[in-house]
Structure 1
Amino acid sequence: MYESMLSFPGSLFGEFDRLRREMNDIFGTAGLPASIRSVAPGSYPALNIGNTPTSVEVYAFAPGLDASKIEVSLDRGVLTLAGERSPDLPQPEGKATVYTRERVGGKFKRAISLPQDIDPSRVSATYRDGVLRVSVARRESAQPRRIAVQ
């Protein structure tokens, strides 16, 4: 029963999706974040953030950038990634008509709030194959340790 409701052209779920899109168009909520922790769709660069017992790892997916033009800074527990991506549209001699633009150029800036147990003096950043990896070590005192029982 459910499979046929999903695949039928005028399905119930298709109508709900159409209604949602129309409501977004009317009230202008399309593209806004759903919660305080989320970001608008299409935010650049896309991020994966995780942690290990010894570090916080941030992966920013930013292909086609010059590594020397990427700015990484850490101030009061906020990691900031900034840079600029050049547009890849050809510059023809006459007028050019662009039908769709999914890869935009321009300046970008992302800020990530990090946990309080990080060590700001031990940060490393590498850029390889379009992925910026920032590793922020945790303080030695915050890392789990085994205590010998006597």
Structure 2
Amino acid sequence: MLYRSLFPRDLFADLDRLQGEIQRNLEISPSIRGLTRGFPAMNVGSTPKSVEIYAFAPGIAPESLEVQVERGVLTVAGERQPDPLPEKATAHIDERFAGRFRRVVTLPDDVDTTAVEARYRDGVLHITVPRKEAAQPQRIAIQ
């Protein structure tokens, strides 16, 4: 009985819950869109012929975006200017990201980094990295 009085049964459960809360707060930052992991938000997928990357960066001029591929790593970088406030105005909530950003995607070994295409339309940067011809599936005729 002395053990129970020194160490309440819920102490370890409380410590476990506290550790989980600390980890969640350090890993993901809250924003107006919910829980995010970085700016710009990205979708990365692949097809048999290419790797497709979508970066969602509304309100950014295409000239301020930089896409670079080096040693199998694709980097999207740029800067979003802060929205100017009218004179003598006070911002009560300012959740839109402003400043420099950089996102990095490691590409698979079977892509052709010399033929990368990037298009920006309606706030979405679409990057296509084609796969090498040798890496694409081939149908073998049976004799």
Shorter-normalised TM range: 0.7 to 0.9
TM-score (norm 2): 0.76
Question: Shift in Å at residue 98 of structure 1?
Answer: 2.2
> In structure 2, how many angstroms separate the alpha carbons of the residues matched to 1:73 and 1:81?
7
Is structure 2 residue 27 aligned with structure 1 residue 32? yes
Aligned to 1:58: 53
1:101 counterpart = 2:94? yes
Structure 1 runs of 4+ aligned residues shifted over 4 Å read 20-23
Displacement of 1:41 after TM fit? 2.5
Give the distance between the partners of 2:77 and 2:49, measured in 1 at CA: 25
Q: Quote the sequence identity (%).
A: 48
Q: 1:31, CA displacement in angstroms? A: 4.1
In the alignment, the residues of structure 1 paired with residue 95 and residue 18 of structure 2 have an alpha-carbon distance, to the nearest angstrom, of: 19
The offset of 1:99, in angstroms, is 1.8
| Aligned partner letter, 1:118 | V
Q: CA RMSD in A?
A: 2.2
For 1:21 and 1:130, the matched residues in 2 are separated by 39
TM-score of the two chains, using structure 1 as the length reference: 0.73
Q: Does 1:44 align with 2:39?
A: yes
Q: Which has the larger radius of gyration?
A: 2
The answer to whether the Cα contact below 8 Å between 1:49 and 1:58 also exists between their aligned partners in 2 is: yes
2:76 alignment partner, one of 78, 81, 88: 81
Per-residue CA shift, 1:89-148, capped at 9, x if unaligned?
A: 4141x3x43222110210000000111111011100000000000000000000001011
SS in 1 for 2:134: helix
Cα offset, 1:22, TM superposition? 10
**2:101 partner SS:** strand
Q: Is the 8 A contact 1:31 1:41 kept in 2?
A: no
Number of corresponding residues: 121
The runs of 5 or more residues in structure 2 that have no matched partner are: 1-16, 29-34
- Which secondary structure state, in structure 2, belongs to the residue aligned with residue 59 of structure 1? strand
- Distance, in Å, in 2 between the alignment partners of 1:104 and 1:47 is 15
Q: Partner letter of residue 51 of structure 1?
A: S
1:137 aligned onto 2:112: no
Distance in 2 (CA, whole Å) between partners of 1:42 and 1:87 is: 20
* Structure 1 gap segments, 5+ residues each: 1-19, 34-39
Give the residue type in structure 2 aligned to 1:149.
I
Inter-partner Cα distance in structure 1 for 2:130 and 2:102: 22
Letter in 1 for 2:118: A
In the alignment, is residue 121 of structure 1 matched against residue 121 of structure 2?
A: no
C-alpha distance in structure 1 between counterparts of 2:99 and 2:63, whole Å? 16
